[in-house]
Structure 1
Amino acid sequence: MTNTPIRRSDITGLILAGGRGQRMGGRDKGLQPFAGRPLVEHAMARLRPQVGALLVSANRNRDAYEALGTDLVDGVISDEIQDFAGPLAGMLAGLRAACTDYVLTAPCDSPYLPDDLGERLCAALNAMPEADMPGTPDNPRPLAAYAATAQGPHPVFALVHRSLADDLAATLAAGEHRVRAWLARHKAVQVNFGDERPFYNVNTLDDLLTDSPRAP
């Protein structure tokens, strides 16, 4: 079976903003001010043009995320699993909520995320030869791809087919919370990006006070 190309309208963007914010003293990281606006807004503004719809995964302050406006976000969702179970739990919530075949994920603390993230991950899946396709009969292309640079993998920057939701739920129930390990089980395609700067993440209160490195 030949796959049709993945289109922007086939993708729901998902900003992962449901963490504990431990390195920020327990603050809700996505809502912290950075360069004049909440950190999550930077990620949303860069991801929104790449997708057909955009969701935010948040486990607290839901009203504050919803107040960011429908021009940026189409909905705010929370983890099915309680007690801040990590990015895989946010990804599961996104896969369950999406009305599209694919979900494109990115963390809320990456204000300079690549503006061609979706395009390049889609291209990698579209280009896979049939002999290497570990998908399903109805969708023979690989079911996931994620970003990497020379400095290492960035598995939370991922494009995932929503058919993996049940497997992800079972994985979490079994106690596995490592994003890269789960993606590896599905032979996710690693896509190399040449520049580390777009994957810069804001982790601490001190990081909020700097605007370096600047967006590429």
Structure 2
Amino acid sequence: MRPAREHITGLLLAGGRGMRMGGADKGLQMLHGEPLAAHVLKRLAPQTGALLISANRHLETYNVLGAPFGATVVEDTLAGFPGPLAGLLAGLRVAATGYVLSAPCDSPWLPANLADRLAYALDSNAADVATVTTIDAHGQTSLHPVFALIRTSLAHDLSGFLEAGERKVRAWYARHKTVEVVFTDERAFYNINSLQELADLQRD
């Protein structure tokens, strides 16, 4: 059965080290007067029921940031910034719904129909994971694996995967039935990787 909005928990992934931003907390960097994380939450909130923020530092700031959206902050259970899968695991364990929709904190233009299209694909293909592929004007494709709709029942398997020292998102997806959903708007999945990119966008 196709998951409805109330059966999906939105998960903002904000637990990275921001190495390409000089160690800055990406989600708290400002774009047009608001933190990047706030831009993402505004786009996730209408598409999901409950909201979670996966963060490993500045927890109180994220609590305040998430409060208007009713978002709860969760921390990785693995030490040392082990990557997006650890943040995903934290969300899968806490979510009270059957599905989690994850998105990174540095992609402020994610599409308004992300949950709807991924939910349709997941249900139609009886899949465990639905993720995003973009295709450009030249037919070149790019996978965006941290944008994904995932069954929360996979939490135990993901825990074992991480405990074995594995960290690659695509390698974990390969263990499960995964469907890739094609979007043609590449900009919707653009992620801001540097302070210079952020400064350039401020001038747009």
**Fold shared, TM-score > 0.5 on shorter chain:** yes
In the aligned structure 2, how far is the partner of 1:117 from the partner of 1:213?
Answer: 27
Secondary structure of 2:150's counterpart equals strand
RMSD of aligned Cα (Å)? 1.4
Q: TM-score, normalised by structure 1?
A: 0.89
Question: 2:66·2:72 contact (CA, 8 Å) conserved in 1?
Answer: no
Work out which of the residue numbers 134, 141, 147 in structure 2 matches 1:149. 134
Q: 1:31 to 1:125 in 2, by over 3 A?
A: same
State whether structure 2 residue 175 is matched by structure 1 residue 185: yes
Structure having the higher helix fraction is 2
Per-residue Cα deviation, 1:95-128 (whole angstroms, up to 9, x for no partner): 0010000000000000001111100000102222
Number of matched pairs: 199
Q: Which amino acid aligns with 2:8?
A: I
Q: Cα offset for 1:34?
A: 1.1
Residue in structure 1 matched with residue 151 of structure 2 by the alignment? 161
State whether structure 2 residue 193 is matched by structure 1 residue 203: yes
In the aligned structure 2, how far is the partner of 1:212 from the partner of 1:74?
Answer: 26
Per-residue Cα deviation, 1:125-162 (whole angstroms, up to 9, x for no partner): 2222xxxxxxxxxxxx2111101112311010000001
In the aligned structure 1, how far is the partner of 2:202 from the partner of 2:130?
Answer: 28
Work out which of the residue numbers 34, 56, 62 in structure 1 matches 2:59. 62
Work out which of the residue numbers 124, 127, 130 in structure 2 matches 1:127. 124
Identify which range, 28-37 or 12-21, moves more after superposition. Answer: 28-37
Work out which of the residue numbers 163, 168, 175 in structure 2 matches 1:173. 163
State whether structure 2 residue 112 is matched by structure 1 residue 115: yes
Per-residue Cα deviation, 1:7-64 (whole angstroms, up to 9, x for no partner): 0000000000000010111111101111111111011100110000111000000000
Q: Structure 2: give runs of 5+ residues left out of the alignment.
A: 136-140
User: Runs (4+) of structure 1 moved beyond 4 Å?
Assistant: none
Identify which range, 16-25 or 182-191, moves more after superposition. Answer: 182-191
Work out which of the residue numbers 70, 73, 94 in structure 2 matches 1:76. 73
Q: Cα offset for 1:194?
A: 1.2
Secondary structure of 2:11's counterpart equals strand
Q: 1:207 to 1:176 in 2, by over 3 A?
A: same
Question: 2:9·2:99 contact (CA, 8 Å) conserved in 1?
Answer: yes
Secondary structure of 2:89's counterpart equals helix
In the aligned structure 2, how far is the partner of 1:176 from the partner of 1:69?
Answer: 30
Secondary structure of 1:209's counterpart equals helix
Q: Which amino acid aligns with 2:16?
A: G
Percent of counterpart pairs with the same letter? 54
In the aligned structure 1, how far is the partner of 2:49 from the partner of 2:200?
Answer: 32
Q: TM-score, normalised by structure 2?
A: 0.94
Q: Structure 1: give runs of 5+ residues left out of the alignment.
A: 129-140
